[in-house]
């Protein structure tokens, strides 16, 4: 199953329409263990704690570690996703939460730079199909003429580029720092964090009795949440097995000449060089800080 296939499956699951008060009441005094302190696990643990649950967050190598899907220095955040409505909705909601919490914690997690979309063919359907949803969600997007783009971003060679769009609210998230900050705040708000490997213990009548920790201890809870990304197959080989297959993504870092300020934040946006030969995404993406 691909990442987007899993997302579509999740989006088809009906959600309970209970109020936040009712949800907090149901969660209060419940002990919940969350395994995995990445973006999904860390935020799940923090929100559950804020709802009143007793929460233990467990991660083998710590939040934002280099073995995790949520590790790395940065992640590009954008709202144009073609016809994938749920992605655009998640981005709009995520932007609200990042801004709200980084103000609350007085630390910079999300850097708004704007995103420049560059299409190397006349087929810009991916962007055009995104515009109605972006407008509905308050994500401003402008169509740029090449002459305007060359004047605005002289650092970029626009040779071969046919269509250009500028997405104003886009930018990048400090991925590792964000995961670590969420975990720190989770603990400050009363959560418990264990940096330790864990695996499911005995399962009886489709109910998990406990977790087995690397030091030999057992950890029991009322409910368990596993947010382990590509590691889920190892934890549940009989259920998930090889259904999740991580792909290799290469990351390159480039230095700029000493004293050259033309590539600093504010002077150049996150950018995507889009090629229609790929079903999703882009041929080249760069985040310059």
Residues 82, 218 contacting (CB under 8 angstroms): no
Regarding whether 140 and 41 lie in a shared domain, the answer is no
Distance CA 155, CA 263 (A): 8
With CA atoms as reference, report the closest residue to 169 among 99, 238, 102: 99
Report mean pLDDT in 10-residue bins for the chain, 289 residues: 49 39 61 96 97 97 91 91 93 95 95 92 91 96 96 90 95 95 98 96 87 96 94 90 83 80 81 57 39
Regarding whether 126 and 25 lie in a shared domain, the answer is no
Percent of the chain with pLDDT over 70: 85
pLDDT at 254: 74
Is the alpha carbon torsion for 59, 60, 63, 64 positive or negative? Answer: negative
With CA atoms as reference, report the closest residue to 59 among 35, 39, 88: 35
Q: What is the mean pLDDT of the chain?
A: 85
Cα angle vertex 88, ends 79, 44, to 5°?
Answer: 110
Regarding whether 92 and 51 lie in a shared domain, the answer is no
Considering all CA atoms of the chain, what is the largest pairwise distance in Å, rounded to the nearest integer? 66
Going by DSSP bridges, is the β-strand pair 141-144/203-204 parallel, antiparallel, or unpaired?
A: unpaired
User: Which CATH number goes with the domain that contains 212?
Assistant: 3.50.50.60
The answer as to whether 124 is a domain residue is: yes
Regarding whether 262 and 230 lie in a shared domain, the answer is no
pTM: 0.84
Domain that holds residue 188: 18-78+174-235
Q: What tokens were used for 210? A: 């406990």
Regarding whether 183 and 162 lie in a shared domain, the answer is no
pLDDT at 69: 87
pLDDT at 274: 67
Regarding whether 33 and 69 lie in a shared domain, the answer is yes
Proportion of the chain in helix, strand, coil states, percent, rounded to 5: 30, 20, 45
pLDDT at 283: 36
pLDDT at 33: 97
pLDDT at 155: 86
Regarding whether 180 and 64 lie in a shared domain, the answer is yes
């Amino acid at each position: 199953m691909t990442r987007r296939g899993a997302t579509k499956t999740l989006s088809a699951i009906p959600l309970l329409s209970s109020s936040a008060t009712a949800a907090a009441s149901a969660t209060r005094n419940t002990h919940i263990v969350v395994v995995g302190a990445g973006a999904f696990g860390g935020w799940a643990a923090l929100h559950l704690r804020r709802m009143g649950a007793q929460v233990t967050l467990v991660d083998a190598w710590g939040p934002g570690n280099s073995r995790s899907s949520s590790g790395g220095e940065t992640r590009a955040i954008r709202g144009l996703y073609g016809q994938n409505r749920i992605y655009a909705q998640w981005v709009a909601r995520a932007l609200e939460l990042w801004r709200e919490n980084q103000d609350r914690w007085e630390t910079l997690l999300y850097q708004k730079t704007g995103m420049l979309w560059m299409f190397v063919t006349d087929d810009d359907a991916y962007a055009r199909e995104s515009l109605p949803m972006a407008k509905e969600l308050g994500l401003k997007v402008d169509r740029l003429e090449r002459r305007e783009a060359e004047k605005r971003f002289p650092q970029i060679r626009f040779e071969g580029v046919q269509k250009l769009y500028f997405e104003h609210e886009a930018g990048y998230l400090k991925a590792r720092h964000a995961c670590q900050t969420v975990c720190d705040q989770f603990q400050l708000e009363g959560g418990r964090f264990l940096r330790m490997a864990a695996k499911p213990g005995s399962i009886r009548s489709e109910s998990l009795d406990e977790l087995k920790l690397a030091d030999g201890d057992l950890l029991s809870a009322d409910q368990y949440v596993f947010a382990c990304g590509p590691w889920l197959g190892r934890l549940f080989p009989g259920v998930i097995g090889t259904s999740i297959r991580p792909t290799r993504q290469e990351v390159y870092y480039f230095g700029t000449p000493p004293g050259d300020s033309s590539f600093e934040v504010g002077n150049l946006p996150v950018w995507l060089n889009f090629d229609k030969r790929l079903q999703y995404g882009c041929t080249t993406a760069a985040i310059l800080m």
